[in-house]
């Protein structure tokens, strides 16, 4: 397979190195020329993914058109809020026949566009006139730090085109990276995005020194919120109990590698969002996704109390301890999962 990789952050590098081991031809595009030159020279990103060497056989370029020169597949791994601008750049600079010849657009970015509240597969379709039959969402419990070190990992390739999902499954799987297929594009993409908000809340809990009881409740009630939004948007309820759902949620909320959990912990220490973000070297997608999901909850008139309290803590200056208190003293109700998702 000839694969063009859009982005050169930790997840893009991890996937490129993984796919290179399968003898796929990889061209990785980095938007920032200085960063591209650094990666070409050092063959390593010492900040985002230290000690993971990028083989010489992986091409690195600052020219996005070069990623399409012989690409059968495009793997999108740019930050969620930059997906649209990246697609617009492609539309301006890449020859239309090359865009049309791409067999699959594999979206590994995670988030919901703030300006339009659109899922990322819709952003790609809007800007490049791509059909559902060419879209695949790659998601699941998969930190770049572990995938790049061959720690056993399982993910989901979701597409409305089952044959394409199976093709990605066969060509991306290795002895340490197992891919399952799924046809619920909406559900998988929503889980990938909204779980980052719950991870922010998990980090706040850790920063406040709260316990395992709290974390267990947070993950469970957090999944209720994800499923509630997913059902309203047409997702399959079964997705939420799978790898893209609880699998990714648990991993992101407990892992030391989780950027979103880490930034929540920093905020709980008393720093503002701006101060916390200055301490981060990589994008924490959950921050912007919190804005999007908060607006989606209002749009669909869905009760999402954890999301609401995270939003108020991040953007309205609410005390993390007060946010926890507000969640605990809400109106009493039955736990019936089915009723709460409805």
- Rounded Cα distance between 73 and 157, Å, is 14
Q: Is 195 a catalytic residue?
A: yes
User: Rounded to 5 degrees, what are φ and ψ at 165?
Assistant: -60, -40
Catalytic residue among 48, 59, 195, 231: 195
Q: What is the pLDDT of residue 284?
A: 80
* Interval 193-212: pLDDT, tens: 999 999 999 999 999 999 99
* Interval 293-302: pLDDT, tens: 999 999 999 9
- Place 98 in a pLDDT band, splitting at 50, 70 and 90: very high
Domain spans, the chain: 2-183, 187-341
pTM (two decimals): 0.94
CATH class of 2-183: alpha beta
Decide if pLDDT at 2 tops 80: yes
Q: What is the pLDDT of residue 335?
A: 85
Q: Name the CATH topology of 187-341.
A: 1.10.1040
Who has greater pLDDT, 342 or 125? 125
- Place 278 in a pLDDT band, splitting at 50, 70 and 90: confident
Average model confidence (pLDDT) for the chain?
Answer: 95
Decide if pLDDT at 336 tops 70: no
């Amino acid at each position: 397979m000839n694969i063009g990789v859009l982005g050169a952050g930790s997840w893009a590098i991890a996937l490129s190195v993984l796919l290179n081991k399968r003898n796929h031809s990889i061209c990785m595009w980095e938007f920032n020329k200085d960063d591209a030159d650094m990666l070409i020279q050092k063959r390593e990103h010492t900040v985002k993914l230290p000690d993971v060497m990028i083989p010489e056989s992986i091409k690195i370029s600052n020219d996005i058109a070069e990623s399409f020169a012989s690409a059968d597949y495009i793997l999108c791994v740019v930050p969620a809020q930059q997906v649209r601008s990246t697609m617009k750049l492609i539309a301006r600079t890449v020859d239309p026949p090359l865009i049309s010849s791409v067999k699959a657009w594999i979206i590994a970015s995670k988030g919901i566009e703030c300006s339009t509240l659109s899922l990322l597969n819709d952003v790609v379709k809007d800007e490049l006139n791509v059909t559902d039959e060419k879209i695949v969402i790659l998601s699941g419990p998969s930190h770049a730090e572990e995938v790049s070190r061959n720690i056993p990992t399982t993910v989901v390739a979701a597409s409305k085109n089952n044959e394409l999902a199976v093709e990605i499954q066969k060509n991306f799987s290795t002895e340490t990276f197992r891919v399952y297929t799924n046809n619920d594009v909406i559900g998988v993409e929503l889980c990938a995005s909204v779980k980052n908000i719950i991870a922010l809340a998990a980090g706040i809990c850790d920063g406040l020194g709260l316990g395992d009881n709290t974390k267990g409740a947070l993950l469970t009630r957090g999944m209720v919120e994800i499923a509630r939004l997913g059902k309203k948007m047409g997702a399959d309820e079964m997705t939420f109990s799978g790898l893209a759902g609880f699998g990714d949620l648990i991993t992101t909320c407990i892992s030391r590698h989780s950027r979103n959990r880490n930034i929540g912990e920093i905020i709980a220490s008393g720093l503002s969002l701006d101060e916390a973000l200055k301490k981060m070297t990589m994008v924490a997608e959950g921050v912007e996704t919190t804005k999007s999901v908060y607006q989606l909850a209002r749009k669909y008139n869905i009760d999402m109390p954890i999301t609401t309290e995270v939003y108020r803590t991040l953007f309205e200056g609410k005390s993390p301890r007060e946010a926890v208190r507000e969640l605990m003293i809400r109106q009493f109700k039955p736990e019936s999962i089915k009723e709460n998702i409805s």
